[in-house]
Structure 1
Amino acid sequence: MAEASQVTYVYKLIHASTPPPDPLPESLPLSEFDVQSGFIHLSTARQVPGTLKQFFTNEPRMYVLRIPIRAIEKDVRWEAPSVPVSRDGVGDGTFPHLYSEKLGSAEVESVALWEKGEGTWDKALGTEEVVSWLIL
């Protein structure tokens, strides 16, 4: 993984069954998983593929929020995941965990809806649209 100081954006993956409102509110509702964990789970651009493949394999589409790290960095801790996540067999180190109950319009720069299509997430992750949107 890139050093935390080299990360410009972090990403929040959201099930398509619970789409974020448009326009985004000041504070989005937390997922049950985030509430249980006590923090908001985020990924770096390099971690997103592994996170999708490991935790969202059966999801046909996902919303992805792009968040400038500078907007939330005071509340982010870089921690090892409780479940090993790998990308192409290589561990991805620590993940950004947001220790705040507020993530919304002031923090989120943009929202994308990604379609998996048939098969795995690899095809969607290789499209020019996704590649150009997913920024370190």
Structure 2
Amino acid sequence: MPAPSPLPSYLYKILDTAPPSPLPARLPLSDLDRNDGFLHLSTSTQVPGTADSYFSDFTELWLLKIEYKVLADGTDADGEVKKGAEIKWEEVGRGCFAHFYGGDLGKGNVGEVVKVEKVGTWGKSLDLEW
């Protein structure tokens, strides 16, 4: 499945606990990301469904908002372009998701941290038009 067209302006990493503030140079990987060998990311339209599917028991989530171009350029957590760091669009279930290989997230590539509280379902609580 190909990348969406047009490409998104932002990608999001969903966290079930608050990240350190201020963001460190390198955030720890989730068990899922470590086991799969890449960072799982979502577009703004995918976040509500991903949250409902994988985080339904949580009442608050934190979203790391990352400029697409920053990761597409291979910018690592420290803000430096890392050789081999790249986004791959891969089919998962019924959608095509962005996966970031060869790099990490941290203060050098995350633009914003947003706390979101659940009201009803995540689909109803998340309206990301940023």
Q: TM-score, normalised by structure 1?
A: 0.78
1:12-35 per-position Cα deviation (integer Å, ceiling 9, x unaligned): 00012xx21111111110001100
Question: Over the residues paired in the alignment, what is the CA RMSD in angstroms?
Answer: 1.9
Tell me by how many angstroms 1:102 deviates.
1.7
Tell me by how many angstroms 1:5 deviates.
4.4
User: Which whole-Å CA distance do the structure 1 matches of 2:129 and 2:34 have between them?
Assistant: 26
- How many residue pairs align between the two structures? 117
Aligned to 1:59: 58
User: Which whole-Å CA distance do the structure 1 matches of 2:34 and 2:129 have between them?
Assistant: 26
Tell me by how many angstroms 1:106 deviates.
1.1
Mapped contact 1:30–1:101 kept (Cα < 8 A): no
Aligned to 1:122: 123
Mapped contact 1:40–1:99 kept (Cα < 8 A): yes
Q: TM-score, normalised by structure 2?
A: 0.81
Mapped contact 2:49–2:123 kept (Cα < 8 A): no
Correspondence 1:26-45 to 2 at 5 A: 26-45=25-44
Of the candidates 90, 93, 104, which is equivalent to residue 79 of structure 1?
90
User: Which whole-Å CA distance do the structure 1 matches of 2:57 and 2:11 have between them?
Assistant: 23
User: Which whole-Å CA distance do the structure 2 matches of 1:48 and 1:100 have between them?
Assistant: 23
1:89-113 per-position Cα deviation (integer Å, ceiling 9, x unaligned): xx4x210000034211111010011
Which is richer in helix?
1
- Structure 2: state its 5+ residue gaps: 75-85
- Structure 1: state its 5+ residue gaps: 85-90, 126-130
CA gap of 1:49–1:21, structure 2 versus 1, over 3 A, is same
